[in-house]
Chains A and B, each alone.
Chain A
Amino acid sequence: MNGDGDLRRALQRIQAPDELDAQRRAWSLARAAFEAREPLSWERRHRGGLLAAVAAAVLLAAAISPPGRALVGSVRDAVTDEKVTTQPALTSLPASGRLLVNSKTGPWIVQADGSKRPLGPWWQGAWSPNAEFVVVTRQREVAALDPEGNTRWSIGRSGIVRGASWSSEVNPRDTRIAYLNGRALRVVGGNGREDKELRRLVGISAPAWRPGAFELAFSTVDGRIELVDAESARTVWRTVPGEIPKQLVWSEDGERLLALGDQSLRVLAANGRKLFSLRLPVGPSGVVFVRASHRFVMVRYSPATGRSDLVLLQAEVDPGEARFLYSAPGEFGSLAMSPNGNWLLVGWVNADQWLFLRLTAAKVQAVSNISQQFGVETAGKPLANTFPETVSWCCPASP
């Protein structure tokens, strides 16, 4: 090296990836934090003492830029922590519909009035269209139950059964259920008949039905996303290999598909074309579409700070500026959108709370003691081991 000056110049020429966009995102966030701060009074400022800032959940208001505005549409600029109300128990849902909660003790149904009932000794469940039935799985069995927990039909299988997903009603009363039997992908009619294998070896993620069609998205063992016509078993399209997703989520109109992995998010169009992808920090994450739109909310965990953010993006070629909705220390788990699209349920694992964020006004309702309310004793156990894994909020009105 020829001296300090060379080294200085060399370091100054090395750029971080995506510097300009990162600056744009950071400015939105910094400005929002500044506007949400609690200004000191003149007296306190001049007393010279440092007082601890208390901000348990920081609201990160939003990008005021035109792209940001276009992105959020009807979603309000921010959900602030100024109006958080906390209840010790779930006494009602803030919007109509019913929840299907996959707790550590099995699936539960929660009515709009807050009443809850377990569906019995099953491991996981998923709604049928219109919430008339629930498909449930345990060990080597898949079954359909009515909401009272009565079994309508049941099938035994050779492998461990999981990842069951019920299609939409493509023709009147005509539905399909997809599930994984070990590593094989199978499909059965909604009436429990005509069970068949679609693929012998697939990735570990639960398959996802494209709304309005008997087309099923699943991951292959090498991390491709494949769309298969479940009637003919024909491949509609298949992507190039990538990270094996842990979650596949369709937009309501079936035109967008999110493939969320541990370290990346791929956003695909209905024809399999990749619109964009994001690299994610290692840590908990999740996605849910805003009703009747291509906008989606994503959990983004920061290992550097131990906080989780909820950000709003757009499943288009231009994802727009990430819009920060809410932030809190620790991990967010399950996400569910209310049928009317006004409320977002967020599982806040570290606080053992569900947060109901009203997206059309700055309001948050928190409900505590979630693990216990679904039959799990929390004493001496990490909350990550007791908190419900997934929640779905049924059902959006038919278009």
Chain B
Amino acid sequence: MVGPGRQERSWIRGAQAGSVSDLEALFREHWPRAHRAAFLVVQDGAAAEDIAQEAFVAAMRNLDRFDRRRPFGPWLHRIVVNRAIDWARARTLRRESSSVEGTDEFDTGDLGTFSQGIAAGLASLNAEHRAVIVLRYLLEYTPGEIAELLDLPRGTVNSRLRRGLDRLEAILDREQA
């Protein structure tokens, strides 16, 4: 994985020394994508907020122990995405045992047709497939990095990516037809 930029290292160093403004800069840099990633995986607004929040709280509590030579993003995204997958699996189990639950609608009001199609396509995938697509295309990790983050063989990541993309493509084709 690519090392952290100079700016990020500086924020981490400052936050470790107790600077709230550096902490805030670090938070503002990473929160939006972490929150959105959680939402795209769990497809539930309240749960996504909880997951991203808890990941940040865990990160902030342990910031003094963080090795600032490493990038902050992967550390955070590992927590967020794994928790999101766990949550989505638990929800699936609950759904199987009861009729509870609904998912948040994606906010598609201002989106183009293509994004709306992607949103609908993602909703039809399972959490594991959504997670690799989000890591690859929203958070922009390589398959090797995704394998490391999710503790999976690289082949599994590639096959999930392939299957997920095929499914998305099929849904988009159907909508355009």
Please report A residues at the B interface, Cβ cutoff 8 Å: 1, 4, 6-8, 10-19, 22-23, 25-27, 29-31, 33-34, 36-40, 45, 48, 50-51, 53, 55, 58, 60, 262-263, 279-282, 302-305, 307
Contact = CB atoms under 8 A, between A and B. Distances in A.
Given A27-B27, A30-B27, A17 B45 contact: yes
Given A19-B32, A33-B57, A10 B50 contact: no
B111 interface: yes
A40 B64 contact: yes
Contacts of B168: 1, 7
Contacts of B46: 279-281
15 contacts: A1-B165, A8-B138, A15-B36, A15-B107, A26-B35, A26-B52, A27-B27, A29-B56, A30-B57, A30-B59, A37-B63, A281-B50, A303-B91, A304-B86, A305-B51
B62 interface: yes
Contacts of A34: 15, 20, 23, 60-61, 63
A215 B23 CA distance: 51
A31 B24 contact: yes
A10 B52 CA distance: 21
Contacts of A29: 53, 56-57
Q: Which 9 A-B pairs have the closest CB atoms?
A: A16-B39, A17-B45, A34-B60, A40-B64, A33-B57, A33-B60, A10-B118, A302-B50, A10-B115
A1 B53 CA distance: 33
A17 B108 CA distance: 10
Q: Is the interface of B mostly helix, strand, loop or mixed?
A: helix
Contacts of B110: 13
Interface of B: 15-16, 18, 20, 23-24, 27-28, 31-32, 35-36, 38-40, 45-54, 56-57, 59-65, 67, 83-84, 86-87, 90-91, 94, 100-101, 104, 106-108, 110-112, 114-115, 117-119, 133-134, 137-138, 140, 165, 168-169, 172
Given A14-B115, A26-B56, A58-B57, A39 B64 contact: yes
A23 B52 CA distance: 10
A34 B65 CA distance: 12
A143 to B, nearest CB: 36
Residue among A4, A7, A16, A27 with max Cβ neighbours from chain B (10 Å) = A16
Nearest to A22: B49
B93 to A, nearest CB: 11
A13 B110 CA distance: 9
Contact of B111 (A1, A13, A307): A13
A37 B60 contact: yes
Contacts of A307: 54
A205 to B, nearest CB: 18
A284 to B, nearest CB: 14
Given A1-B172, A10-B114, A26-B49, 17 more contacts: A4-B137, A8-B138, A10-B118, A11-B118, A12-B138, A16-B39, A16-B45, A16-B48, A17-B39, A29-B56, A29-B57, A30-B60, A263-B100, A282-B100, A302-B50, A302-B54, A304-B83
B127 to A, nearest CB: 12
Contacts of B35: 16, 19, 22-23, 26
A304 B87 contact: yes
A29 B18 CA distance: 16
A56 B18 CA distance: 23
B65 A45 contact: yes
Given A58-B57, A279-B45, A282-B101, A14 B40 contact: yes
